[in-house]
Amino acid sequence: MEGSAEAIAIRLGRTAVDTRRASILAVYVIWKRDVIRYWRDRVRLVGALAQPLLFLVILGTGLASALRGAGGLGGLDYQQFMYPGIIGMAVLFTSVFSAMSIVWDREFGFLREVLVAPIDRSAVAIGKALGGATQATVQGLVLLVLAPLVGVRLTPLAVLELIGLIFCLSFALTSVGVAVAARMESMMGFQFVVNFMVQPAFFLSGAMFPLTGLPGWMAVLTRLDPLAYGVDPIRRVALGAGGLPGPLLDRLSLTIAGEPVAIWVEVVVLVAFGLAALSAAIWSFRRRA
């Protein structure tokens, strides 16, 4: 055995690992692990569908009835208005939860297996951000099957555009989550994150009500919410495809200084936001053990 070709090959294999190559492979395999775990956890997949359904069917129906009496949204059905917001909600929650698995991995030790490997720590942040973004995108896309239920007709082109938009949003939100999780010591902080970051982000995003005619302070906060830059273009593409007139859409959309924000600008904002958060996450991972 000692002198066999195999033994020698293995011995010669004991040269130092190429850190750059290993880091790129690490991004891939960290992403892959997240995807495998997500796929294996069917309960979560189904469960994540239940909450949006609950919102759409019960809250949506209730509010739609109430608003119809009060004059409504200029002819737009409230359930239809809310539908893109619910996609945003699913993306938000999936992103945050998958990013928080870093804290879980830290508590259960698995993170150390990664931190002692001969890779650049940036690979951990990037792999996690992409893994979470993939999960959130899938979760958001699954909700597209509910479109007919609320009377939204999607064209193939709209679906393609939505895939891109949902991915950009997922990436931005997951990166923020990873940046926060990189600094968190234990799951204790998780409830804090949900209460003070996730829920406000959801409420301020325009998912449940149009971001027009708000008091000044709140208008400012909503424009600082990355989710707002995701919900708005998703709404415009999804409802626009369904034949909703442009002027009505413009009236409901995100404005800055009174002007509707173009979809490409919103995409740029999301990507920039994601990259900035990812840089912060990389910085945190490089700094700590």
Partner 1 sequence: MHEDQPPGWAVETRGLVKTYGKVEAVRGIDLTVRPGEVFGFLGPNGAGKSTTISILCTLIEPTGGQALVGGIDVVRDPGSVRARIGLVFQDTTLDDQLTARENLEFHAFLYDVPRSERRRRIDRVLEMVELGERAGSLVRTFSGGMKRRLEIARGILHSPYVLFLDEPTLGLDPQTRNRIWEYLHDLRRREGITIFMTTHYMDEAELCDRIAIIDHGRIVALGSPGELKGMVGGDVVTLRTRDDRGAAEEIGRRFGLEPLLDSGGLRLEVEDGASFVPRLLRELSVSVDTVTLSRPSLDDVFLKLTGHAIRDEEVGARDRMRAMAGRWRGARGRG
Task: Closer to partner 1 by CB, 153 or 287: give it.
Answer: 287
Q: What are phi and psi of 108, to 5 degrees?
A: -95, 5
Helix (H, G, I), strand (E, B) or coil at 26: helix
Q: Which residues contact 260 (CB under 8 A, 6 or more apart)?
A: 250, 253, 254
Task: Closer to partner 1 by CB, 114 or 154: give it.
Answer: 114
> With binding defined as CB under 8 A, does residue 149 bind partner 1?
no
Q: Which of 173, 177, 147 is nearest to 230 (CA)?
A: 173
Nearest distance from residue 94's CB to partner 1, in Å? 17
Tokens for 6, please give them. Answer: 């195999």
Tell me whether strands 255-256 and 259-260 are parallel, antiparallel or unpaired. antiparallel
Of 61, 62, 66, 112, which lies in the binding site for partner 1, with binding defined by CB under 8 A?
A: 112
One-character DSSP codes across 234-254: HHHHHHHHTT--HHHHHHHS-
Helix axes 60-69, 78-107, angle to 10 degrees: 150
Selected range binding partner 1 among 37-45, 64-72, 157-165, 228-236, rule: CB under 8 A = 37-45
Selected range binding partner 1 among 108-116, 145-153, 192-200, 238-246, rule: CB under 8 A = 108-116
Task: Closer to partner 1 by CB, 36 or 268: give it.
Answer: 36
> With binding defined as CB under 8 A, does residue 191 bind partner 1?
no
Task: Closer to partner 1 by CB, 30 or 165: give it.
Answer: 30
Q: Which of 81, 62, 55, 86 is nearest to 212 (CA)?
A: 81
Q: Which of 204, 211, 136 is nearest to 166 (CA)?
A: 136
> With binding defined as CB under 8 A, does residue 36 bind partner 1?
yes
Q: With contacts defined by CB under 8 A, how many residues of the chain interact with partner 1?
A: 37
> With binding defined as CB under 8 A, does residue 21 bind partner 1?
yes
> With binding defined as CB under 8 A, does residue 2 bind partner 1?
yes
> With binding defined as CB under 8 A, does residue 118 bind partner 1?
yes
Task: Closer to partner 1 by CB, 12 or 188: give it.
Answer: 12
Task: Closer to partner 1 by CB, 37 or 223: give it.
Answer: 37
Q: Which of 141, 109, 115, 140 is nearest to 127 (CA)?
A: 115
Selected range binding partner 1 among 107-115, 180-188, 237-245, 264-272, rule: CB under 8 A = 107-115
> With binding defined as CB under 8 A, does residue 183 bind partner 1?
no
Nearest distance from residue 53's CB to partner 1, in Å? 26
With the CA atoms of 223, 259, 81 and 136 taken in that order, what torsion angle do they form, in degrees rounded to the nearest 10? -50
CA–CA distance, 262 with 264 (Å, rounded to integer): 6
Q: Residue numbers of the site for partner 1 (CB under 8 A)?
A: 1-2, 7, 9-19, 21-22, 25-26, 28-29, 33, 36-37, 40-41, 109-119, 289
